[in-house]
Amino acid sequence: MLTVRLTPHLKRFFPVPDEVQVDATTLPEMVQRLDDLWPGLGFYVVDERGALRENVAIWVDGARLLDRSRFGEPVRDGAVVHVMQALSGG
Protein backbone atom coordinates (compact mmCIF):
# COMPACT_ATOMS: atom_id res chain seq x y z
CA MET A 1 0.00 0.00 0.00
CA LEU A 2 1.30 3.44 -0.92
CA THR A 3 0.32 6.85 0.36
CA VAL A 4 0.09 9.23 -2.59
CA ARG A 5 0.08 12.99 -2.20
CA LEU A 6 -1.01 14.80 -5.33
CA THR A 7 -0.19 18.35 -6.35
CA PRO A 8 -3.17 20.70 -6.13
CA HIS A 9 -2.57 21.53 -9.77
CA LEU A 10 -4.27 18.25 -10.64
CA LYS A 11 -7.44 19.52 -8.92
CA ARG A 12 -7.99 21.69 -11.97
CA PHE A 13 -8.68 18.54 -13.94
CA PHE A 14 -9.78 15.88 -11.45
CA PRO A 15 -11.50 15.96 -8.04
CA VAL A 16 -8.51 14.48 -6.26
CA PRO A 17 -7.96 14.68 -2.50
CA ASP A 18 -4.67 15.85 -1.05
CA GLU A 19 -3.80 12.28 -0.11
CA VAL A 20 -4.96 8.85 -1.21
CA GLN A 21 -3.98 5.25 -0.40
CA VAL A 22 -3.48 2.89 -3.32
CA ASP A 23 -2.53 -0.76 -3.50
CA ALA A 24 0.59 -0.81 -5.66
CA THR A 25 4.15 -2.11 -5.55
CA THR A 26 5.60 0.06 -8.34
CA LEU A 27 5.06 3.61 -9.56
CA PRO A 28 3.46 2.51 -12.87
CA GLU A 29 1.03 0.40 -10.84
CA MET A 30 0.35 3.42 -8.67
CA VAL A 31 -0.45 5.48 -11.77
CA GLN A 32 -2.81 2.75 -12.95
CA ARG A 33 -4.62 2.68 -9.60
CA LEU A 34 -4.98 6.47 -9.73
CA ASP A 35 -6.35 6.18 -13.25
CA ASP A 36 -8.84 3.56 -12.01
CA LEU A 37 -10.05 6.09 -9.43
CA TRP A 38 -10.09 9.08 -11.78
CA PRO A 39 -10.22 7.86 -15.38
CA GLY A 40 -7.88 9.87 -17.57
CA LEU A 41 -5.60 11.01 -14.75
CA GLY A 42 -2.93 8.49 -15.64
CA PHE A 43 -2.44 10.16 -19.02
CA TYR A 44 -1.54 13.37 -17.21
CA VAL A 45 1.30 11.65 -15.37
CA VAL A 46 2.59 9.30 -18.07
CA ASP A 47 2.41 9.43 -21.86
CA GLU A 48 0.93 6.78 -24.14
CA ARG A 49 4.20 4.82 -23.95
CA GLY A 50 3.83 4.65 -20.16
CA ALA A 51 6.84 6.92 -19.65
CA LEU A 52 6.77 9.47 -16.86
CA ARG A 53 6.11 12.85 -18.44
CA GLU A 54 9.17 15.01 -18.71
CA ASN A 55 7.92 17.74 -16.41
CA VAL A 56 6.25 15.60 -13.79
CA ALA A 57 8.34 15.09 -10.67
CA ILE A 58 7.98 12.19 -8.25
CA TRP A 59 9.35 11.84 -4.74
CA VAL A 60 9.45 8.54 -2.88
CA ASP A 61 9.88 8.88 0.88
CA GLY A 62 11.25 12.35 0.37
CA ALA A 63 13.80 11.42 -2.30
CA ARG A 64 13.20 12.73 -5.79
CA LEU A 65 13.23 10.17 -8.57
CA LEU A 66 16.01 11.67 -10.64
CA ASP A 67 16.78 8.66 -12.81
CA ARG A 68 13.63 8.24 -14.86
CA SER A 69 14.75 4.85 -16.12
CA ARG A 70 14.04 3.60 -12.57
CA PHE A 71 10.37 4.59 -12.79
CA GLY A 72 9.32 0.94 -13.09
CA GLU A 73 11.29 -0.44 -10.16
CA PRO A 74 9.60 -1.72 -6.98
CA VAL A 75 8.73 0.75 -4.22
CA ARG A 76 8.75 -0.31 -0.57
CA ASP A 77 5.39 -1.11 0.97
CA GLY A 78 4.17 1.84 3.00
CA ALA A 79 6.13 4.44 1.06
CA VAL A 80 4.87 8.01 0.76
CA VAL A 81 4.89 9.19 -2.86
CA HIS A 82 4.52 12.81 -3.94
CA VAL A 83 3.35 13.51 -7.51
CA MET A 84 4.24 17.09 -8.35
CA GLN A 85 4.80 19.26 -11.37
CA ALA A 86 8.44 20.09 -11.90
CA LEU A 87 9.07 23.79 -11.66
CA SER A 88 9.98 25.28 -14.98
CA GLY A 89 10.17 29.01 -14.77
CA GLY A 90 9.09 31.61 -12.27
Partner 1 sequence: MATTNDRFLLGTRKGLFDVRRQGGAWALGEPRLPGQTIAFAVRDPRSSSVWASLDHGHWGAKLARSDDDGATFEKTAPPTYPEHTGASAKYYWVIEPGPADRPGHVWIGTDPGGLFRSEDGGATWSLDEALWALRKEHAWQGGGRGEAGIHSICFDPRDARHAYVGISCAGVLETKDDGASWSYVNKGLVNVFDPGSTTDYGHDPHCVVIAPSKPDVLWQANHCGVFKSADGAATWQNLTQKPWIDFGFTVAVHPTNHDRAWLVPLKSDEVRTTVDGRLAVARTDDGGATWDLFREGFPSPAYDFPFRHALDVGADGDTLALATTSGNLYVSEDGGVTWATVSTSLPPVYSVRFA
Positions that interact with partner 1 (CB under 8 A): 9-10, 12-13, 40, 43-45, 47-49, 51, 53, 55-56, 85-86, 88
Pairing of the two strands 63-64 and 2-6: unpaired
* Nearest approach, Cβ of residue 72 and partner 1 (Å): 16
| Minimal distance, residue 44 CB to partner 1, in Å | 4
Burial class (CB in 10 A: 0-12, 13-18, 19+), 66: exposed
Nearest distance from residue 52's CB to partner 1, in Å? 11
Give dist(CA 10, CA 77) in Å, integer. Answer: 25
